[in-house]
Structure 1
């Protein structure tokens, strides 16, 4: 695993896998690293992202056991000097994603943005999750098993049109979270834009570099600030850029919408370079 930030991501990933295997035993098909660790390397604010594939559905008690254990493993914010990174664990049932179908079903997901809810007793449950399309695509591209067979032996490739649908489906939720999760939303919108335009899935800072060359001057300071915070070059602050946040988000969302609409008008016949390499 690449480690360009702080914290101990290898140990955390192994801890996550141990928790999953303790809760589900022989029903674990495999566990796979994805996200920044398999793209361009972990950044100071990167999560440790793991996908676990199960043979069966989960119970409420099992999902709560995962939450309780992950609250201990996962860091509550950016990795400090030697501190724990935030963990994101996604669990799918193999029969829900192989053979592939859209929209896919997520069995469980833990993320630090919901820590307060977990600490109040909330337990994430199953549900449709279009975001699994890009997530599974990253798992297959990264080919980084933590336990079990290679991901291509456990998961089907995601059709390109379903990948585009899954990426675009998350945009309204991103816009709704702009005030609460500003840096992540600003960067993720840039990554969605780049992926839909080029077919390439890359890191958030690479997407920011791509988008900065295409943004009007008035929107660039927002993305520059988000990129710097993501890379640990400066502390996150938005007070001086608050009036520019929503215009930036709306501009990028409109660019995304134009790409989606154009795809529909051409009948979905264009090809993307990067994702043609999906296993």
Structure 2
């Protein structure tokens, strides 16, 4: 059984008839999984999850998702759920009902449970999900989800930059690639694979800012080691250049 199938089986077992749809987004839906890719999944439910369902999902995902700190582990799973009535009809900011991510594994193992919170980033996830049209379970996503207005997608992308930059030293590759994708999406209206966004941005950046982004793309594709100790000053300069382009073109 594949990891995706195991996640879908877990969702069916825990949610039963309240499970409306399970959809790929992220790398799996935008060109294929890469060596460092998570399994990104968006789930649409009928109504909100109760405490027992949250506990069962967390316990099941702890077993199915791979801890990135463990060599040879399965891929990390990032799974978000939305109650259909919270996102259809669309309103901003949307509400995320539940989220599992490996960065909170230690808290989950101590008994913490994800709660329902407003999450502007769902504008990006839902746009990717609709664009990818890649169900694991259920009808096409457009049958359950409304399209996100361009101004809300734009706002979500811009609002996420400050938090993204706080992770630059700890998650350099991902931050640079996501900034490149923000720039490309704001310019073109398309959400593409991180490597495609990097190539698009490299063609438009000044020469001195290209090497760090090119290295991030090579790591993403599995062609280089994820090593940044000697490249952090350059990565900071490149991130600043990307943010400058984003802000210039978003004015």
Shorter-chain TM-score tier: over 0.9
**Structure 1 counterpart SS, 2:2:** helix
Match of 1:76 in 2: 67
Distance 1:41 1:78, change over 3 A: farther
Distance 1:42 1:79, change over 3 A: farther
Match of 1:215 in 2: 205
Cα distance, 1:78 vs. partner?
9.3
Match of 1:31 in 2: 22
Distance, in Å, in 2 between the alignment partners of 1:102 and 1:134 is 12
1:136 aligns with 2:126: yes
Q: Is the 8 A contact 1:78 1:85 kept in 2?
A: no
Match of 1:150 in 2: 140
* Deviation digits for residues 238-259 of structure 1 (CA, Å, limit 9, x no counterpart): 1111222222222211211122
Structure 2 residue aligned with 1:192, among 182, 185, 208?
A: 182
Distance 1:130 1:47, change over 3 A: same
* Deviation digits for residues 71-108 of structure 1 (CA, Å, limit 9, x no counterpart): 11112239977x52111111000000000011111011
Distance, in Å, in 2 between the alignment partners of 1:44 and 1:242 is 22
Q: Is the 8 A contact 1:106 1:129 kept in 2?
A: yes
Structure 2 residue aligned with 1:229, among 186, 205, 219?
A: 219
Q: Is the 8 A contact 2:20 2:45 kept in 1?
A: yes
Unaligned runs of 5+ in 1: 1-9, 262-279
Structure 2 residue aligned with 1:168, among 142, 158, 173?
A: 158
Please provide the CA RMSD for this pair.
Answer: 1.8
Distance, in Å, in 2 between the alignment partners of 1:109 and 1:132 is 11
Q: Is the 8 A contact 2:169 2:232 kept in 1?
A: no
Cα distance, 1:175 vs. partner?
0.6
**Structure 2 counterpart SS, 1:233:** coil
**Structure 1 counterpart SS, 2:91:** coil
Single out whichever of 213-222 and 87-96 deviates more from structure 2.
213-222
1:117 aligns with 2:107: yes
* Deviation digits for residues 32-91 of structure 1 (CA, Å, limit 9, x no counterpart): 11111221122121111111101111223322321221111112239977x521111110
Structure 2 residue aligned with 1:46, among 21, 37, 52?
A: 37
Cα distance, 1:194 vs. partner?
0.7
Distance, in Å, in 1 between the alignment partners of 2:228 and 2:18 is 45
Cα distance, 1:147 vs. partner?
1.2
Distance, in Å, in 2 between the alignment partners of 1:14 and 1:87 is 12
